[in-house]
Amino acid sequence: MIRCSSLHVFLVSLLCLGHGGFSFVHQTAAPIIRSTNTVVNRALLFASASTASSPDAVIAPQVVATGYSSDDDLPKAIREATAMAMESLPSNDDNDDNDATPTMIDLAVIFVSSLYDGTFSPSLVVPSLLDAASSYGGVIQHVIGSTAGGVVGSVANTAAQAQKAKSNCRPAELEGTLGVSVCLFQLPGVELQTFHVLGDDVPDDYARFPASMWKQAVGLTGFGGTDDDEQDDDDDSPVFMLLPSPGFQNDLDDLLQGIQANFPHSSTFGALASTVSSLSRARLFRYDVTDKQNMQTLGDGCVGIAMKGDIQIRTMVAQGAKPVGGIYQVIKATGSTINAIVLDETATELEREARAEDDELEDDEEEEEEDEEATDDDSKKAQMAAAYAKASIPKPCLAEANFLMRTLSDDDQSFMRKALLVGLERGGSVGRTPSELARLREGQGHRFEVKQVASAGMKDGSITLPLGSVNVEPGTRMRFFVRESNFAKKEVEALWMGYKKRVLQESFQTQNDDDDDDNNKTPTSFRPTGCFVLPTLDRGSKFFLGKPGFESGTVTSFVPEISAISGFFSNGVIMKLDEDDPAEIASSTHGSASGFVLFGSKSGRPIYSPAAAAAAKAKAEEDRKIAEEAARAVAEEDEKRKIRTKTVETLGGKAPRSEDGELILKRREVHSGRALTVSTVEWSVAEKQATPSSTLESFMWDKETEVDRFRERVPLANLVSQCRLAASDPTKPKPRDWVGLIRQASKDGFVVIPECKRMEPTSGSLWKRYDAEKLAKQFTLSGAPAICVNCDAVLFGGSQDDITRARKSASSAAVEKASGDDGVVVPPILASDLVLYPYQLYKLSLAGADAVNLVGGALASKDLLYLTKIASSLQLQTLITVTSEVQLRALAAMAPNSIDGIIASNRELEDFSFDMSGEQALRLLQSEALTEVRGKHGDDIPVLVEGRVGVIERVDADGNTSTAQYLQELRDAGATGVIIGGGLAEGNDYAAIREVAGALA
């Protein structure tokens, strides 16, 4: 047994300077002192960062990783299991040193099949484990473990496997065969200490011993603060894991009670070491880095690990016992002996009613009814037993069990003849569901604690439970149980359902606590990092009717985020039957059960998942590639823009204009280098190299080329047919009243229309990552009455698919935003493009546009008239963009009401620059030409302004400069509203601009 020594003194001194398990480095560890100290220093920095106040501080995650192997060579099996577990730990890819940084492992728990004992010495286990970890770059600080009759392990899923399986790991249960399971822990912020105690050294009367003496006796000197501290702060409540040998059972209760007395807020779990055959001897394993020469392989006593700090556990126990018969009251009892019982009819009836309401037990009840009706003999037996049970006189336990047994199925009778199980009602049952399974599903815990009868009095019919296990009081309720696999399956599932419900309730409580100003501590809901599954030897695939891995598989079903499951088949489970039961003071041993232990941190540390880490790494790489591709695309678009935005500098002056000041525009000449396509060969004739005289002319020539290419793929006749079919198809989108919503919105104030635009010819890309669908959603949720989408691909980098995506996204967002009173109002879409041919109008209609924008400066009067008629036939509203009074007078010459709106622009069509003073749009608003247009097409025709709105600043009467002043001047000049595109991309928030516009006088 490890006693208090200079090693413990040195350990405590290191703990005062270090951080949890990362600090356990002994001065005699010469071979790895340099690399290990490097790890310690890095770990200390990493841990200190986790408590820093900086929002960018990195918090070290709590990590649990497992691996297993069934190789018949013990050292090789340990190496394979360790390698599998090491692969699931966080990598050190960010190390900048020349030497690889070792991975610090605070705790390793190993379970080894006893079948290796005949071929390999158990003393090989710890050295093989340490060597295996070291060969893969790991440094283990502490080790505990034992031999087992079977092991439980898991392998972490890859990101693809996790997505397909809906869980982060694949567990395996190796029962009665060769196998090794290794579980590795990284526990930042946790103080750890291993210990070994023999049965003779455990004080049998812990109350007589001071805390310091008791800790020294069991090997826990120096753990949990000063030895004079008899109680621990609840925030540092320690966790104990115990692995006793089978011969330690008689002293185990004394150890458990002593731990609870000296660490009243502690949690204890564990399991008794086991073997496949009774001819083998169970072994225990222990190692502590503070004494590297002490690699212990033990045959007696109990090994354990004490953990204190940022760690907590959740435990559950599945008893695997089905209740049979009624509920009784103990009439006479002495110590652990029950002499006489009587049926508690009230409790029995309440429990039967609760079972009848339990949906999961309906099938079982129907089967029981069918069995009872199978033969008259069975019916008579049931009636006889019921009549005897209802007798008011007390009865011996064995007599009642004998009559009850006759009413059971053959399998249950067979079990009862071999073993008699009795359940004693536990405290805290008042106000809870009487049904056992229903209680577990609600997270209320077990009603009865099941124990196997140790002996029976054949003369008086009494039964005696294991000595010291319980002190039965008269008046205690009890009932009989049998082991049954189907019920055991339901019990395991019910336990996990109850766990999920408790965690959900805790999360709600956490939210309430976060809102409590008086709470100085930040509560966190429990998030598991790993799980131990600890079944006894009589469970497993044979008990669950040949279904292997049922219990570990259930864990992944209910807690799929767990990436590590370990454990072993034991001789008994050590933990509280219900961890939240205040009446259950200390953990106890359960001889035939399964224990489940979940690990987590108190502070809510990040949970490391290999699958999630791989997915995050892949996502980061994908994002990097997307960002690079986007940057490359932006650069290419900017280069194309520079080429396409040709200026008149090569002509030595301004572009040619007519007498009225309008640009003289020539259409593209066929013989000037027009590209032609014959079959799959594209060629061109360049007899003359024509040069555009302005940016608009260049724009028009490129647009004509674009339309020609579209026509080669889809002729105009096909588009016309598609539009006719869409008009008659009720499932296809129909044009909406774009202008009508603008008029409606103008009644409430100055209208602000957002524009989805990828780039500007004069400045390049407006957005780092342009997403018309995302922008349309944001604008809709912000209350936009209508949306403009620039779909030109030549100068503005858009596409007609942007219209379709924006329309769909806006519709979904409108449904999300809609209230029951207002209904759904979807903002219609205005398509902004350089439209020169009817062909383009048909394509825009099919894309989902509700209105189109025609550039007045690019179209002759006859073309303008023709295009508006085609648009009207497609039910598309037309808005004309004008940059001069000449263009306005052309609109005044058109037939009344042949256009639906006007857009006054600050853009200069010669080079596509902007009038940054904003005067151009103001002059158009105040011109006589606009008055003529309104007289022809109606005074209520909407007049919108575009071109650096939201960027242009004006000086108000007080000498203050602002963008809001320009909005005010536009409103005063008679504008209905504005269209803002580039202004939104330069940091302006649409909702804020809309609010400013709504407040204009």
Place of tokens 């397909």: 164
Asked whether 853 and 944 are in contact (CB, 8 A), the reply is no
* Cα distance between residue 74 and residue 111, in whole Å: 12
pLDDT at 161: 87
Q: Dig out the tokens for 869 from the structure.
A: 């008629």
Determine contact, residues 89/63, Cβ cutoff 8 Å. Answer: yes
Please give the pLDDT value at position 6. Answer: 35
Neighbours of 516 (CB within 10 A): 9
- The pTM score is 0.63
Q: What is the pLDDT of residue 378?
A: 54
Give the model's pLDDT for residue 434: 77
| Whether 282 contacts 244, CB under 8 Å | no
CA–CA distance, 949 with 940 (Å, rounded to integer): 22
Place of tokens 């890819």: 93
pLDDT of residue 812: 92
Question: What is d(CA 556, CA 545) in angstroms, rounded to the nearest whole number?
Answer: 20
What is residue 123's three-state secondary structure?
helix
Judged by phi (left if over 0) then psi (alpha if -120 to 50, else beta), residue 728 lies in alpha
Distance in angstroms (rounded) separating the CA atoms of residues 695 and 647: 6
Measure the CA–CA gap between 847 and 831, rounded to whole angstroms.
10
Q: At what angle do helices 362-374 and 376-389 cross, to 10 degrees?
A: 110
- Predicted pLDDT of residue 406: 86
Query: Which residues share a beta bridge with 182?
Result: 67, 110
pLDDT of residue 572: 93
Q: Quote the pLDDT of residue 675.
A: 53
Helix (H) / strand (E) containing 964: helix 963-972
First to last CA, the chain: 88
From 604, 330, 592, 354, select the one nearest 481 (Cα to Cα): 592
Question: Cα–chain-centroid distance for residue 90?
Answer: 19
Of 298, 282, 302, residue with least CA distance to 114: 282
Comparing C-alpha atoms, which of 784, 800, 788 is closest to residue 755? 788
Query: Residue 862: phi, psi to the nearest 5?
Result: -65, -35
The residue length of the chain stands at 1001
- What the block records as the tokens of 425 is 């009602």
d(CA 366, CA 363): 5
For residue 480, what pLDDT is reported? 94
Give one DSSP letter per residue of 802-852, joined into a string. HHHHHHHHHHHHHHHH-BTTTB--PPPEEEE----SHHHHHHHHHHT-SEE
Which stretches of the chain drop beneath a pLDDT of 70? 1-57, 92-100, 225-235, 292-293, 358-392, 428-432, 467-469, 510-524, 581-585, 637-653, 668-690, 819-822, 1001
The per-residue pLDDT for 47 is 36
pLDDT the model gives residue 631 = 76
pLDDT at 655: 82
For residue 981, give Cα distances in angstroms to 813, 914, 985.
20, 13, 7
Residue with tokens 């029962």: 175
Q: How many CB atoms are closer than 10 A to CB 35?
A: 16
SS3 481: strand
* CA 571 to centroid of chain Cα atoms: 37
- The pLDDT assigned to 764 comes to 82
